[in-house]
Structure 1
Amino acid sequence: MNQIETYLLPMALSVGMKLLGAIALWVGGRFVIGLLQKAVRRALVLNPMDPTIKMWIGAIISIGLNIFLVIAILNVFGIETTSLAALVAAAGLAIGAAWSGLLANFAAGVFLILFKPFKVGDVVTVNGITGTVLEIGVFSTTLNSTEHVRTIIGNNAVSTAIIQNYSANPYRAVEMRAQLPATLEPDSAITLLRATLLAIPNVCAEPAPTLEVIEFSEAGPKLIVRPFCHHDHYWQVIYDSQKAIAKAFSQAGLPQPLITLVPKTA
């Protein structure tokens, strides 16, 4: 009993004091972390930053503060944290090597959020897929394709691909070619085509449609026909242009030109 009193009671007292200190440090640390998180959230709310970046910053700060708190509690118990830090670093390297693809997608997601090559709602072509952007996530970007198929692309593939954003500019061109009969005089055909295109709903008056002879051949002159419109009206202008041109030439008693579209993805 004397030995127990001599060795175990001081040890139990020491462990108990350390345990109480760790509990007090945990409670106080969590309270301080909560205050810091609230302060960071208030600062981020006032900052005109993308909501996704705000969420990432808040999560990273929270994780970092909790890691420091755990290390401080381990120090209270006298546990050497240098080797623990080395172990965490080694584990981080191993996880990073195993998840290199995910980390690349995460870094690319940060790039997409910061530099904004497109935003939710834009119509884009990315990695050969054309569609409307539904979501720019942490690891992937989600499109609703022109065939109404939800398509998910890794952010790394998005950031390294050629991106065509059809919604970024106020208007775009509808590319067509008009093969005129050899008997048809091109200037009169251009005058008729210009008036016809400007009468089509949603065709821009400024810039005016482009109509020029780009080739002469035995079949007759070939024209470039390029009206401009907002992307939302792109397909409507394509359909209406061909019907309007056929009707205008028929009413004028002129032979019909052969209209072909320059292939577009959206």
Structure 2
Amino acid sequence: MDHEKLMADMIDLALLYGPKLVGAIFVWIIGAWVIKAINIGISRGLDKAKIDPTLKPFIKSLTGALLKVLLVITVLSMIGIEMTSFVAILGAAGLAIGMALSGTLQNFAGGVIILIFKPYRIGDFIEAQGYTGTVAEIQIFNTVLKTPDNKTIIIPNGGLSTGSLTNYSTEPQRRVDWTFGIGYGDDIDQAKALMLELCKADERILQDPEPFVEVSALADSSVNFAVRAWVKSEDYWDVFFAMNGNIYKSFNQQGINIPFPQMDVHLHKTSD
């Protein structure tokens, strides 16, 4: 009797759960095929959108993981397993993990935004978060800069994605600004002509737009000129330093004084 009862129970279970199990297996197979097709579509879409190669594996892995979790929940629900409590526990665990890793997740989200919108690229010279340097790496959590004096700066992407940033490499041309002072007794027309001549003599300085030289201020001990010239971005610092040296040499040769701070001391003799 016990054997017959056991067989009857097994038959009842098979009749009850058999169709559900077959349906779950069928949904699993179809779901796995759909997830694979979606991943292929996402990969092609990322290639067409020219998304940064660093970001592609993360997007594909994240999408695939989410879809697989949904598929598992669906299959288990079809079998008859109650998933309400499981989903609640999963949500609570996700919230706790998210709060514990809030800074890390912020940097991750910042990295995704940077890699998608590309406010800067590897090789760009940028200024952000109080640092200036050339972008050496764009990682998913951090951006690595190399400073002109060869220091390595690691900046979290969270702040970079939400804060102000100056990218000096975006435009092909940059304007170089100088301020040069001459003495009050010197000829301003001669000084202006000399500075314009030096701007035209340097082949790295563009002549369209034309260099600009005008008196900018009558300072305490000097007449100051604002000198502005356009150059290719990669020539900025070379031209900046070269012009400083050329101005100093040329002013000395032409007898134009370069003022420097002075202090007059007056001594008064008083009777005892």
**What range describes the TM-score normalised by the shorter chain of this pair?**
0.7 to 0.9
Q: Residue 256 of structure 2 corresponds to which residue in structure 1?
A: 255
Supply the AA of the counterpart residue of 2:175: A
Q: Residue 117 of structure 1 corresponds to which residue in structure 2?
A: 119
Per-residue deviation at 1:22? Answer: 5.4
Q: Residue 264 of structure 1 corresponds to which residue in structure 2?
A: none
TM-score, normalised with respect to structure 1: 0.82
Per-residue deviation at 1:77? Answer: 3.4
**SS state of the match for residue 60, structure 1?**
helix
**Residue among 149, 152, 163 paired with 2:151:** 149
The CA deviation string for residues 5-63 of structure 1, in whole angstroms up to 9 with x for no partner, is 44467558977887776566544533332233223323433344454555444233211
Supply the AA of the counterpart residue of 1:224: A
**SS state of the match for residue 227, structure 1?**
strand
TM-score, normalised with respect to structure 2: 0.80
Supply the AA of the counterpart residue of 2:258: P
Residues 42-81 of structure 1 mapped to structure 2, 5 A cutoff: 42-51=44-53, 54-81=56-83
CA RMSD, Structure 1 to Structure 2 (Å)? 2.9
Per-residue deviation at 1:194? Answer: 0.9
In structure 2, relative to structure 1, the CA distance for the partners of 1:112 and 1:35 (3 Å cut) is closer
In structure 2, relative to structure 1, the CA distance for the partners of 1:73 and 1:134 (3 Å cut) is same
Q: Is the 8 A contact 2:173 2:231 kept in 1?
A: yes
The CA deviation string for residues 216-264 of structure 1, in whole angstroms up to 9 with x for no partner, is 2463312222333223112211221122223323443x134359xxxxx
Structure 2, gaps ≥5 residues long: 261-272
In structure 2, relative to structure 1, the CA distance for the partners of 1:232 and 1:191 (3 Å cut) is same
**Residue among 220, 225, 228 paired with 1:226:** 228
In structure 2, relative to structure 1, the CA distance for the partners of 1:14 and 1:217 (3 Å cut) is closer
Q: Is the 8 A contact 1:25 1:73 kept in 2?
A: yes
Structure 1, gaps ≥5 residues long: 260-266
Q: Is the 8 A contact 2:51 2:115 kept in 1?
A: no
CA radius of gyration, larger in:
2
Q: Distance in 1 between matches of 2:222 and 2:70?
A: 79
Q: Is the 8 A contact 1:40 1:58 kept in 2?
A: yes
Per-residue deviation at 1:190? Answer: 0.7
Per-residue deviation at 1:127? Answer: 0.5
Per-residue deviation at 1:132? Answer: 1.2
Q: Distance in 1 between matches of 2:259 and 2:209?
A: 25
Per-residue deviation at 1:170? Answer: 2.7
Residues 22-171 of structure 1 mapped to structure 2, 5 A cutoff: 25-51=27-53, 54-171=56-173
**Residue among 171, 182, 185 paired with 2:184:** 182
Please say which of residues 123-132 and 39-48 is displaced more in the overlay.
39-48
Please say which of residues 25-34 and 123-132 is displaced more in the overlay.
25-34
Please say which of residues 26-35 and 224-233 is displaced more in the overlay.
26-35
Q: Is the 8 A contact 2:183 2:222 kept in 1?
A: yes
Q: Distance in 2 between matches of 1:228 and 1:86?
A: 62
Per-residue deviation at 1:67? Answer: 0.9
Q: Is the 8 A contact 1:174 1:226 kept in 2?
A: yes
In structure 2, relative to structure 1, the CA distance for the partners of 1:13 and 1:31 (3 Å cut) is same
In structure 2, relative to structure 1, the CA distance for the partners of 1:206 and 1:118 (3 Å cut) is same
**SS state of the match for residue 196, structure 2?**
helix
Q: Distance in 2 between matches of 1:31 and 1:115?
A: 32
Q: Is the 8 A contact 1:211 1:224 kept in 2?
A: yes
Q: Residue 262 of structure 1 corresponds to which residue in structure 2?
A: none
Please say which of residues 12-21 and 87-96 is displaced more in the overlay.
12-21
Q: Is the 8 A contact 2:196 2:211 kept in 1?
A: yes
Q: Percent identity?
A: 34
Q: Is the 8 A contact 1:132 1:143 kept in 2?
A: yes
Q: Distance in 2 between matches of 1:123 and 1:151?
A: 13
